[in-house]
Structure 1
Amino acid sequence: MFEKEGFIGVGCVVRDVDGGFIGARNHRVPVSMQHRETEAVSLKEALSWIKQTGYMYCIFETDAKLIADACKELKGIAYFHTIVSDCLKLFKHFENVLFDFVSRSANGVTHKLARATHFMLGIHESFYTALEFVRDILLIDFI
């Protein structure tokens, strides 16, 4: 979240069943809101991207416990609840989907992708070859 600049950085990574790298994406989203809403917007952006790729069997992980709980229990208020509801609608586009909370230490790639948007403009995607600046973290997250 880059409050002064008025945007959040979104980072997503796709892995196979063995944890191997398939693809990654990061970009800026121009918003100014509370932390919980930015986490919900990030999930919504990730869901929209994965929906476009055509993957139908997915496990989504987040290091934001509030989002994980809200998606599992449909809890929330005001704008946050609206974003979570949009995420739940996007879940319906997948044949089989799980959603779970993971610790930040197991989710370093997405954090680094999101932070990199501070210095990068536009949308950056890569498939089958990881962006150079996340290769070291991919190995750490994999372990």
Structure 2
Amino acid sequence: MNLALWILAGLLAALFLAAGATKLLQPKAKVVETSGEWAESYSPGAIKGIGLVEVLGALGLILPAALDIAPVLVPLAATGLALTMVGAAVTHGRRTGEGQHVAFNVVLVLLAAVVAWGRFGPYSF
């Protein structure tokens, strides 16, 4: 199970790192084009903030355990990313025609929750 949690954390980290970097490095218009119309409702600073949270969460899933420096940050990062995706699901749920995004967000919440459960509980570092 430890290996499965590492693989799951790695996949989540790659996904959140890519998504967060996109939001951090691209202008708002490009984010709207690539990530969806939800971004129209947010200021450029808010979009960059969301991207920063995603990048930090991705780093928090891997680096603390890999470097053996405060590995308790891994389940905290997983919990934070799960909460971030709950917010994303609410945002997409309020918008018309974004049901597929809600489903994807729910899957990410569940995957991040599994990592948090495993690393807080029976498979902690």
TM-score for both structures, normalised by structure 1: 0.28
More helix, by proportion: 2
More strand, by proportion: 1
Compare relative contact order (CA 8 Å, sep 6+) and give the higher one, 1 or 2.
1
